Amino acid sequence: MSEDNAPEIVLALEIDDPALADRLAKLLGNVAGLRLVAPGEAAAATIVARDPRIMPGEIALTQRELDVLALMAEGASNKMIARQLGISVHTVKFHVGSLLDKLDATGRTDAVAHAARRGVIEL
């Protein structure tokens, strides 16, 4: 009593591997209630290539470092971060230094990029 009134779920397929994409398209094409996206159409969900959750070697960041990192990703300067967190610029630099170290980055831009790549933050 709930299957028939639910609208179709529109799925987009974003797979580089042609073989896998083809098999998925075949399999999903036969499922009632499911439909693959039409060109230009907005999809409810997308099937992407590989599992983004596998990230071996979790980075151990302290809470404060995460705070600083998040603001860095917003493009905030050290001064802005200091104001935002209610701490001194020196302390911000201290945490940024730790982040550069832990994330193996050469600068704040590199740090944000690395963090985003490893799933530590979400852009």
Residue with tokens 């590989």: 50
For residue 38, the minimal CB distance to its own copies (Å) is 12
The entry of DNA, its own copies, none near residue 59 (CB within 5 to 8 angstroms by kind) is: none
- Restricted to residues 38-77, the positions that interact with DNA (CB under 7 A) are 60, 62-65, 77
Out of 18, 52, 57, 86, name the contact with its own copies by CB under 8 A.
Answer: 52
Give the type of residue at 48: V
Out of 11, 71, 73, 78, name the contact with DNA by CB under 7 A.
Answer: 78
Binding to its own copies by CB under 8 A, coded x per residue (else -) over 89-108, reads ----------------xxxx
For residue 53, the minimal CB distance to DNA (Å) is 25
* Long-range contacts, stretch 54-59, CB < 8 angstroms, 24+ apart: 55/118, 55/119, 59/102, 59/103, 59/115, 59/118, 59/120
Give the type of residue at 111: A
Three-state DSSP class for residue 82: helix
